[in-house]
Structures are given as C-alpha cells and as structure tokens.
C-alpha cells in the first residue's frame, strides 16, 4: 500500500478531457453605489477548488434559470447528459443519480462539501434535505473524485452549495422575500418560500418547499417537503456558518420493488457548522440522520414492514495556502462515522479517518497541473490510497487540451452487506469497489465568444463492482462482486450565443460497457444511459415585432432530452417553460413531457405522461 507512488499515476495519465460547460448567467450591471454596499461571503473551503482541478466540472446556477422552470435540484441535474437520473416519481421523490455510466451507488452527493449519501442504501442518494431555493450553485464533477471526497465518488460527485445573501456594509439591514405557488396536472401543488435578512455582522436565510400530487396512477401519490435555516455570523475570528435542514417525503410506491401496492416514507435531518479560522482555514462538522419506513402492503404494516434509522457525522479541518503567485497547496484531515438501527438489517457501525493534500500549479507558461492524494483508513475494510493527477495545456488563445487520471473507491452499504427478503439477499463478504478513471479532450472557444465547443473521451476501469445478479429468473437477487467491469465513453457540448438574448445548447454523452459474465442477469450495473442527448434553447427576451414591449419581460426555455437506456429503445422528453422575468409579480407556466412519452427510468416503474403546472412567483426586496 505504501509503495503506491504518485509517480505511477503520472505515467498512467493519457491525454484528456473537457467539461460540458453550462452557459453562465449573464452578469447584472450594478451601480457603483450598490457594488460598494454589498458583500457576498461563501465560507465553504473545498478539499480542492474544483475550478482549479483541471477536471471535467459542470457548474449549474439555479438563479440563472427562468422562474418556475425547475422545482427541485433533481430537475436541474437533468440538464447534464452525463448525469443519469433514475427516478420512480416526480419532485425528487425516490430518485437516484449516476454519472458517466456508473451505478447510482457509485455517485456521491454533498451539501457544502459534506456527504449526504445514506449509508443504508445508495437508492436514496438524492433524498436531499435542503430546498432548491437555498442552493446558490451545483458543481457536478465527472469522473472519480475519491481524492477529494472519499468513498462513493467512483463515477463522480455532485456538490450543492449554499451562500450568504448579499449583506450591507452600513447599519441598515437588507431584506428579501420570494414566494412561489402553483398547481397543475394530477392534483399537483407546489409552494416555495425564501426569506432573508442581512446586516453588516449577521445574516439569516429561511427556505421551505412543499410539493404534493394525487398521483397519475393508483398508489403513486406523494408529498415532498423540505425546509432549512442558515445563519452567518461575522466576527474577528472569521465567519461562522450554521445550517439546519429537514425533509419529509411519504409516497405511494406501487410496484417499486415487486408486484405489491407498496408505501414508503423517508425523513432527513441535517445540521452543520463551519467556522472560518482566518482567510485560508475552515473547521467543519456535520451530522445527518435519515429514516426509511417501508410497508409492503399499503395500509397493512402488520404484514411486512421495514424500519431503518441511520446516523452519520463528518468532521474536517481544511486549509489552502498560496505558494508564490501561481500555486496553491490544499490539505486537511477528516473523520467520519455512520451507524444503522434496523429491524431487518440489525445494528451496525463503522468509522473512517483520512488525510489529503493537493498541489495546484497554474500558469506555468502554457501548462497548469494539479497533483493530489488521499489516504483513508476504514474500520471495516482497511486503508485505501487514492491519487489524482490532472493537467491542462493552452495551445492557443482559443484552444485548450486537458488530461486527468484518478482513483476511486466505494465501501458496501448496509443493505449490500446485510439485507435479506424472499427476493433479495445481501452478502457480508463483499469487498470494496475500486476504480481508475481516465479522461482526455479539448475546449475550443473562437474569438468573439459566440461559440464554445467541448469534447472528451473517458474510461473507467473497475474492480470488485457490487451488483445484484442471478442466473435464472426464479432465483433470488444476490449481492455479488463482479471481478472487473470497464466503461468507455465520450461527452461533447456546443454552446452558441445567437444574440445577446438567445442561447442554444447541444450536449451529448455516450457510454459503453464490457459484457456481463455469461449466464448472469444484472439488476443495476447494466441499467445505465447508453446515449443521452440534450437540445436546449433559451430566449431572455421575445421579439418585439411579435410581442411588443411586453416581450422584453418574458423568458422562454425549451429542452428536448433524448435518452437510450441499455434496456430500452430511445425515448424523447420535451419540456417548455414560459415566465415573466422582471417585476415583483412573475407568472409562469411549465409543461413537461409534451410528447406524452411512456417510459421508465427504473425497470418496471412507469413514469407520468404529459403534465402542466402554472403559478406565480412574488419577489420583494428592501435595502
């Protein structure tokens, strides 16, 4: 283990990558006085600022989207074709996330750099307790991220980042309130609220969301509720950031896991505190509790019921030091642990500790380089060494080449190890998954900035992949380590700014895997999106020749998503959003699956057809 040197990784790296760039929000012009009166502070200290990692990273800004266009973080993540959403219902209910063809268990979700994956099962990795209204940006890392974040980030990681409301430097507080309410198909209702107050030394933001539906079929109703409170206190020692969040999601689960009228309810509680210690150091602690109640027959828990309660904590001390003008050394120590109390899985606990370091070298003439490594010790599975190296070469003022190689790993969930029912059996002898991820590509942006093109090729070599397999249809699903499984693929994007107010985006990802060992049926590892294409057009103003001066207030966004899963033929999903983008009162209309496509994202769990939601958003601010 100790002989594994970072030099080996440098030799293994081959030309790589490019990011599927999300169009950035157009900057708002501010008067000199408003610029001088506001300060925005983000206290998060990343293990490595992903913008400096030379990796494929997509940043999504919820604030840059039209009013009502997206209702949950899950909806926003669908704008990235390298992300495969596997949902059983709308509004983020029972949704899984996978990146670049990996399984949903191999993708890590974080809030402000803190893990929120449930150690019970990877099936609930998008059961996020923080409402969309609290999220400032979403970073999506394509490719292994275990050097930065540890276990589960084999396919990549998603980091949801909150930030402090703009605060005033004078004595007068700043207030802001946004409320949104709407309704539509299948008795759906959505209500969102965000309120904040910011002074020179203290800020507070409260957000809440409630999305309900009667369901498009029997036993497919849901209620998705989340709320958060985040406080920032500024003292001479640095900024203190305290986040409290909770969610409650009961839903009808008809045929989710078998031919039964099932029902499920999940709850999450998240508490974190982050303390800046000067401008370059931060200490962080997070605590997460998650409960999962599953009933096999709706209204009859006495027949069969599972109750799982998991808790986890994470503590980190992180620092970033500049070294000269063009280098930054990021390093830190982390400690984490989790436990489960379950009527079917038993009582278990484990913990792990890690140290990491990353050196980011910028502007070495035309070259930039990032080299890092992480050593993690796990109480149940020994230690894991995860290095990472990435480089970028600026060939011309418009062309950039990039390359990266990184190690990933995942330890089994408690379900993988201990679950047993008439159809599925876990395996306490499972080994951790390990992987090597390679990528290479280019970014090209001709002068003028009207066009940005990106391409990338990637490969994921995996060992001891955990999947549920069986030989005959009548057999049980058995948790098993597949000795090797390799994935290869490509991703590309083109962003075209047609005018100052119109933008067109085309993005495409394709993935191909090696064949499953003969005589095996796979439940998860081969249910990925083999092809995913997205066509999106946004107009921040409609033509005055057709709509007059009113057209300047309207934003129109339409997206066509064409997906081909390995187990299905290709299917289209066409969405349209129309909203007023200015003023205190902003009506909106959201149309989803206009083609009324019948499709499934999880095998044998049909999704709803054409839907309509209309509502109004009210925005008010006082400084």
CB-side neighbour CA atoms (13 Å) of 32: 0
pLDDT of residue 622: 85
Question: Are the beta carbons of 153 and 103 closer than 8 angstroms?
Answer: no
Instruction: Look at 161-170, 369-378, 471-480, 537-546 and tell me which has the smallest mean pLDDT.
Output: 537-546
Q: What is the mean pLDDT of residues 158-186?
A: 89
- pLDDT bucket at 1, cuts 50 / 70 / 90: very low
Nearest to 262 by CA among 296, 223, 216: 296
In the chain the domains, ranked by start, together with CATH numbers, are 6-622 (2.40.170.20)
Tokens for 546, please give them.
Answer: 């057709």
Q: Nearest CA to 162 among 35, 56, 40, 13?
A: 40
Of 72, 132, 122, the residue nearest 292 (C-alpha): 122
**Ranges 6-10, 210-214, 276-280, 356-360: which has the least confidence:** 6-10
The pLDDT of residue 47 is above 90: no
Name which of 185, 197, 8 is nearest 90 in CA terms.
Answer: 185
- How far, rounded to the nearest angstrom, does the alpha carbon of residue 413 sit from its chain's CA centroid? 19
- Tell me: pLDDT of 98 over 60: yes
CA distance 36 to 28: 15
pLDDT digits (tens, 9 = 90+) for 343-372: 999 999 999 999 999 999 987 778 999 999
pLDDT reported for residue 312: 96
pLDDT digits (tens, 9 = 90+) for 177-234: 999 999 999 999 999 999 999 998 999 999 999 999 999 999 999 999 999 999 999 9
Quote the pLDDT of residue 5: 36
Residue 51 has a pLDDT of 63
pLDDT at res. 7 = 35
Residue 258's CB is within 10 A of a number of other CB atoms, namely 12
Percentage of the chain modeled with pLDDT above 70: 90
The pLDDT of residue 452 is above 80:
yes
Higher pLDDT, 276 or 544: 276
Q: What is the pLDDT of residue 30?
A: 35
Q: How far is CA 276 from CA 106, 434, 450, in A?
A: 31, 34, 40
- Of 447, 444, 445, 417, which Cα lies nearest the Cα of 429? 417
Residue 111 has a pLDDT of: 94
The enclosing H or E element of 147 equals: helix 146-149
Mean pLDDT of the region 300-306: 93
- List Cβ neighbours of 594 (8 Å cut-off, separation of 6 or more): 574, 575, 576, 610
* Cα→Cα distances 74→131, 490, 529, Å: 11, 23, 16
Sign (positive or negative) of CA dihedral 429, 116, 509, 397: negative
Q: Quick check: 42 pLDDT over 60?
A: no
Please, what's the largest Cα pairwise distance for the chain? 72
pLDDT tens digits, one per residue of 102-154: 998 999 999 999 999 999 988 888 999 999 999 999 999 999 999 999 999 99
DSSP symbols for 460-477: EEEEEEEEEEESSTTSPE
pTM of structure: 0.89
pLDDT value at residue 524: 86
pLDDT band at 45 (very low <50, low <70, confident <90, very high): low
Residue 2 has pLDDT above 70, yes or no: no
* 282 φ/ψ angles, rounded to the nearest 5 degrees: -145, 140
Element (H, E) at 556: strand 554-565
Reference 253, options 602, 521, 571, 527; nearest CA is 602
- Report whether pLDDT(309) > 80: yes
pLDDT value at residue 34: 33
Nearest to 220 by CA among 257, 255, 185: 255
Backbone dihedral angles phi then psi of residue 487, each to the nearest 5 degrees: -120, 140
Q: Give the pairing type, strands 238-254 and 222-235.
A: antiparallel
462-477 pLDDT tens trace: 999 999 999 888 888 9
Confidence band, pLDDT 50/70/90 cuts, at residue 43: very low
Per-residue pLDDT of 11-33, as tens digits, reads 223 223 233 333 333 333 333 33
Q: What is the mean pLDDT of the chain?
A: 87
- The answer, yes or no, to whether residue 412 has pLDDT greater than 50, is yes
Task: Flag whether pLDDT at 39 surpasses 70.
Answer: no
What is the Cα–Cα distance from 204 to 211, expressed in whole angstroms? Answer: 24
Q: What is the pLDDT at residue 49? A: 63
Question: In the numeric block, which tokens belong to residue 477?
Answer: 């699903």
CA contacts within 13 A on the Cβ side of 46: 22
pLDDT at residue 22, as a whole number: 36
pLDDT at 53: 72
| Range in 44-53, 211-220, 515-524, 563-572 the model is least confident about | 44-53
Q: For residue 94, what pLDDT is reported?
A: 83
């Amino acid at each position: 283990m100790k002989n594994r040197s970072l030099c080996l990784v440098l030799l293994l790296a081959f030309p790589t990558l490019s990011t599927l760039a999300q169009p950035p929000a157009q900057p708002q012009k501010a008067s000199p006085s408003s610029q001088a009166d506001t300060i925005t502070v983000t206290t998060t200290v990343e293990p490595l600022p992903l913008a400096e990692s030379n990796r494929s990273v997509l940043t999504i800004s919820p604030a840059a989207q039209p009013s009502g266009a997206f209702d949950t973080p899950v909806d926003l993540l669908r704008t990235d074709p390298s992300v495969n959403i596997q949902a059983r219902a709308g509004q983020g209910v029972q949704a899984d996330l996978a990146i670049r063809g990996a399984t949903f268990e191999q993708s890590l979700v974080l809030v402000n750099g803190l893990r929120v994956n449930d150690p019970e099962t990877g099936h609930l990795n998008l059961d996020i307790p923080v409402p969309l209204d609290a999220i400032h940006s979403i970073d999506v890392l394509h490719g292994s991220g275990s050097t930065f974040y540890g276990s589960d980030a084999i396919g990549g990681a998603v980091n949801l980042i909150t930030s402090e409301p703009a605060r005033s430097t004078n004595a007068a507080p700043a207030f802001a309130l946004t409320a949104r309410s709407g309704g539509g198909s299948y008795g759906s209702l959505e209500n969102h609220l965000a309120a904040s107050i910011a002074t020179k030394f203290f800020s507070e933001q409260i957000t809440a969301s409630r999305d309900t539906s009667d369901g498009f079929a029997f036993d497919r109703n849901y209620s998705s509720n989340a709320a958060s409170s985040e406080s920032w206190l500024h003292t001479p020692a640095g900024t203190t950031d305290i986040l409290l969040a909770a969610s409650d999601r009961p839903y009808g689960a008809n045929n989710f896991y078998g031919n039964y009228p099932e029902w499920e309810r999940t709850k999450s509680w998240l508490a974190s505190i982050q303390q800046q210690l000067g401008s370059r150091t931060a200490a962080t602690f997070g605590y997460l509790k998650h409960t999962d109640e599953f009933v096999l027959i709706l209204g009859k828990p006495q027949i069969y019921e599972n109750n799982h309660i998991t808790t986890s904590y994470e503590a980190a001390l992180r620092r970033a030091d500049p070294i000269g003008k063009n280098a930054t050394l990021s390093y830190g120590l982390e400690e984490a642990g989790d436990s489960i109390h379950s009527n079917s899985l038993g009582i278990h606990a484990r913990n792990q500790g890690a140290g990491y370091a990353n050196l980011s070298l910028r502007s070495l003439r035309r070259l930039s380089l990032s080299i890092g490594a992480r050593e993690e010790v796990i109480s149940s599975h020994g230690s894991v060494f995860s290095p990472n190296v990435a480089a970028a070469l600026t060939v011309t003022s418009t062309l950039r080449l990039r390359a990266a190689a990184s190690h990933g790993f995942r330890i089994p969930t408690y379900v993988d190890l201990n679950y047993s029912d008439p159809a599925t059996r876990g395996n306490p002898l499972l080994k951790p998954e390990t992987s090597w991820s390679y990528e290479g590509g280019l970014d090209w942006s001709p002068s003028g900035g009207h066009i940005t093109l990106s391409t990338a090729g990637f490969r994921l070599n995996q060992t001891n992949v955990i999947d549920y397999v069986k030989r005959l249809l009548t057999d049980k699903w058995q948790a098993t380590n597949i000795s090797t499984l390799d994935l290869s693929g490509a991703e590309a994007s083109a962003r075209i700014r047609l005018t100052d107010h119109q933008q067109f985006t085309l993005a495409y990802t394709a993935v191909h895997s090696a064949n499953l060992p003969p005589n095996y049926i796979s439940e998860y590892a081969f249910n990925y999106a083999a092809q995913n294409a997205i066509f999106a057009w946004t107009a921040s103003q409609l033509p005055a020749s057709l709509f007059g001066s009113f057209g300047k207030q309207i934003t129109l966004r339409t997206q066509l998503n064409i997906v081909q899963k390995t187990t299905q033929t290709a299917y289209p999903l066409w969405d349209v959003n129309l909203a007023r983008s200015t003023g205190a009162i902003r009506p909106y209309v959201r149309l989803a699956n206009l083609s009324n496509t019948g499709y499934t994202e999880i095998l044998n769990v049909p999704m709803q057809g054409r839907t309509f939601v209309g509502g109004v958003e009210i925005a008010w601010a006082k400084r």
